[in-house]
Structures are given as C-alpha cells and as structure tokens.
Amino acid sequence: MRALLVLTIACLCGWPLRAATTLPEVHGEAFIVVDVHTGRVLGHRNSRAPRAVASTQKLLTALIIAESGNLWETVTIRPEDTTAAPTKLYLKPGQTYSRFELLQALLIKSPNDVALALARDNAGSYEAFARKMNSRARDMGARSSRFINPNGLPADGQFSTARDMAIIARNAYSNPIVRRIVATPRAEFHYADGRVRQLVNTNRILHQVPWCTGMKTGFTNAAGHCLVSSGQSNGRNIIAVILGSNKANVFSDSRRLLEWGLRL
C-alpha cells in the first residue's frame, strides 16, 4: 500500500521515478545543486571551473540594487545606458522610471540597457558598480569570480563559477524583494510615453510547475545557455545552477536537478 501511495504521488506530480541518490544526466559543462537553508552541496560537476555566466550574474546586480533600498526613487535614463544590445527594453534618454520598475524588468525579461541604467544610478559609473559587485561577491564567499559589467555581456577577464553563482543565488534568494520578483511569471512595464509591454519571465520552468520559485536565465555565445533555478517543496528549498548548456536541454535538465534535490 505504501509503495502504491508513493507511485501515485510521483505520477500526480509528474516526477520521474528514479533512485533519489542517482544524479540526473546534465548536458551542461558545469553544474551544482545546493540546499538553500544549509548551503550543503548535494551534487556537482566542474563547479569550480571559471566560465562566462552571461545574464545569470544579473542576480548579483539585482541583489545590490535591492539592498541599497529607496526602490521607489526614480532613475533618469542617459544616452550611454541605451547601448547594450541585443536584449533591450529600448529605453530612451530623459525618460524616468522607479528603481523597482527597472529591477522587476531586469529579473523577469533580462534587458541589458536596464542593467546599465540601474548600475550607473547606483554607483555613479559602470566601473564603480563592477567594483561593488566584486566586493559583495567576496563578502559572501564567492571569491572565484571577477565581474566587469552588470549585465553579463562578454568582457575580457569576466568570469565566475557554478559554485560562486550558487552562493550568489542563495544570497539573492534570502532577499525578499529579489525572491518575489524572480518568482513572478509575467508583469507589465509602463513606458514613460504611455506604451505598455507585457514582460514574460524567461525561465520556462516557472511556467511549467507550481513548485518552481524562479531565479535567472542567461545566454551568450561564449557562455552557452545558463540557468540558475530554484524550487520549494515540503519545507525544502533547492537551487540548481547549470552553465554552458544548450537550448534543447538547459530547462529540462535543471528541472530534473531540482526534482532530484527536493526528494533527497
């Protein structure tokens, strides 16, 4: 009877039946699974190898902005903020938006121009914000990273690791503002000229299963497809980081890692 009950629950949840101690196959170059509450590493591969991590590093950008507070104060867009292709909201110089509006757009849709605007507003320059990123990363124990920009676009000498990104993700998860935004499936962005754009979260797992609590996608040619994802079930919270994967597998692999970690 107990075995039948377990089988029924697994089928209803859509979770494949496998031994809880067997790590799922992962196609990425590096990955790690950690328990949010304890920080315990549940499984990993190449987790200390330095790599480009693309837009997943926006979790650190967002954490710094959220921790700085005053999120309802406004940011005035400058010409230099609008230059970061390819993913943009196409903000125009002179427009003003609240920090919270921009932060929400950053984590849901990942526009690079928004990252520039928030970073410059926060630190006075992109270079000064990068110094804040590296300092904050070191303070939390992510000491195998070097950040050059706030958006994860390719830059000489910029890198992180799956382990460091898990540390950053745990800290971001502990911030209630960041945690709420990354779990938001969609939101409206209201442009200063009256236009409204629907922003749909780029994390497909968030749209697939109710126990996914978000986090952040990333892609560049140098980094491959990257995903920091999180899930919660029965009081357990798990974060999975996959770096250097491909479009066909990054979401399904991440979902399997989360399912595996939540059942340990």
Map out the domains of the chain with their CATH numbers.
Answer: 21-262 (3.40.710.10)
**Cα separation of the two ends of the chain:** 22
**Residue 204, Cβ neighbours under 10 Å: how many?**
17
Contact 177, 223 (CB under 8 A): no
Residue 39: other Cβ atoms inside 10 A: 12
Q: What is the pLDDT of residue 84?
A: 87
**What's the chain's average pLDDT?**
92
Q: Is the four-CA dihedral 129, 48, 174, 223 of positive or negative sign?
A: positive
- Average pLDDT, integer, range 150-174: 98
DSSP, collapsed to helix, strand or coil, labels residue 224 as strand
pLDDT tens sequence across 64-122: 999 999 999 999 999 999 988 889 999 999 999 999 999 999 999 999 999 999 999 99
Instruction: Give the CA angle between residues 189, 180, 20 to the nearest 5°.
Output: 130
Q: Is the bond preceding 111 in cis, omega lying within 30 degrees of 0?
A: no
pLDDT digits (tens, 9 = 90+) for 205-221: 999 999 999 999 999 99
Most confident of 20-29, 84-93, 241-250: 241-250
The pLDDT value recorded for residue 225 is 98
Tell me what pLDDT residue 81 has: 97
- Measured CA to CA, the distance from residue 25 to residue 11 in angstroms comes to 20
For residue 48, what are its two tokens?
């200390």
pLDDT tier for residue 50 given thresholds of 50, 70 and 90: very high
pTM given for the model: 0.91
